[in-house]
Structure 1
Amino acid sequence: MSLRDHAREAIRDEVAKHAWTLFAAHGYEATTVDQIADAAGMSRRTFFRYFAGKDELVLERLVESGNLIATALEQRPADEAAWPALRAAFSATIRLQEQHHEKSRPLQLMLRAEPALRATIETRRRLWVERLAPLTAARLPSTDAADRSGTRAAAVTASAVACLEAAQIAWAENPGTSLGELLDDAMGAVAPLR
Structure 2
Amino acid sequence: MGSVVRDRVREKMKTELAQQVYTVFAERGLENVTAQQAAQAVGISRATFFRYFSSKEDAVVTALRSMSMHFSQMLESMASNPSESLLELLRRSFEPTVVAAEEDPEAVRSRVQLVWSTQALRASWQESRREQQAELAQALHPFCANHRLADTSALLALTLYDHALVRWVDSHNESLREILDEAFDFAAMIDNKWSTGAARK
Equivalent position amino acid for 1:90 in 2: F
Please point out which of 137, 144, 159 is paired with 2:156: 159
User: TM-score, normalised on structure 2?
Assistant: 0.80
What secondary structure, in the 3-state scheme, does the structure 2 residue paired with 1:77 have? coil
Q: CA separation of 1:65/1:155 partners in 2, compared to 1, >3 Å: closer, same or farther?
A: farther
Task: Please tell me whether Structure 1 or Structure 2 has the larger radius of gyration of its CA atoms.
Answer: 2
Change (3 A) 1:137 1:48: same
Displacement of 1:67: 4.0
Within the alignment, does 1:177 sit opposite 2:182 as a pair?
no
Task: Sort the Cα spacing of 1:82 and 1:56 in 2 relative to 1 into closer, same or farther, 3 A.
Answer: farther
Deviation at 1:29, TM superposition (A): 3.2
Counterpart Cα distance in 1 of 2:97 and 2:44 = 30
Q: Which residue of 1 aligns with 2:14?
A: 12
SS at match of 2:172: coil
Gap change, CA 1:36 and 1:70, over 3 Å in 2: farther
Measured at CA, do residues 13 and 66 of structure 1 come closer, stay the same or move farther in structure 2, by a change above 3 Å? closer
- How far residue 82 of structure 1 moved from its aligned partner, in angstroms, is 2.9
5 Å-filtered alignment, 1:71-90, equals: 71-78=73-80, 79=82, 80-90=84-94
Is the contact made by 1:105 and 1:172 (CA closer than 8 Å) also made in structure 2? yes
- Comparing 162-171 with 110-119, which one deviates more in the overlay? 110-119
Partner Cα distance (2:187, 2:31) in 1: 35
Unaligned runs of 5+ in 2: 193-201
Which of 103, 108, 115 is the aligned partner of 2:112?
A: 108
Instruction: Tell me which amino acid in the other structure corresponds to 1:42.
Output: I
User: Please, which of 123, 136, 141 is the counterpart of residue 140 of structure 2?
Assistant: 136
RMSD between aligned alpha carbons? Answer: 2.3
> Does the C-alpha gap of structure 1 residues 32 and 26 become closer, same or farther in structure 2, counting only changes over 3 Å?
same
Once the two structures are overlaid, the 10-residue window that deviates more, 119-128 or 4-13, is: 4-13
By how many angstroms is 1:44 displaced?
2.6
> What is the CA–CA distance in structure 1 between the aligned matches of 2:151 and 2:58, rounded to whole Å?
25
Runs of 4 or more above 6 Å deviation: none
Q: What SS class does the counterpart of residue 66 from structure 1 fall into?
A: coil
Amino acid at match of 1:87: R
Kept after mapping to 1: 8 A contact 2:15/2:62: no
| TM-score after normalising by structure 1 | 0.83
Please give the per-residue CA displacement for 1:111-131, whole angstroms capped at 9, x wherever unaligned: 222223221111111111111
1: CA distance, partners of 2:116 / 2:106: 17
Shift of 1:134: 0.8
Q: Do residues 168 (structure 1) and 168 (structure 2) align?
A: no
CA distance in 1, matches of 2:66, 2:155: 18
Tell me which moved more, 53-62 or 172-181: 53-62
Counting matched residue pairs gives 187
AA at the equivalent of 2:22: W
Q: Deviations over 1:45-98 (max 9, x none)?
A: 322221233333333333333344442222123345432112101001110122
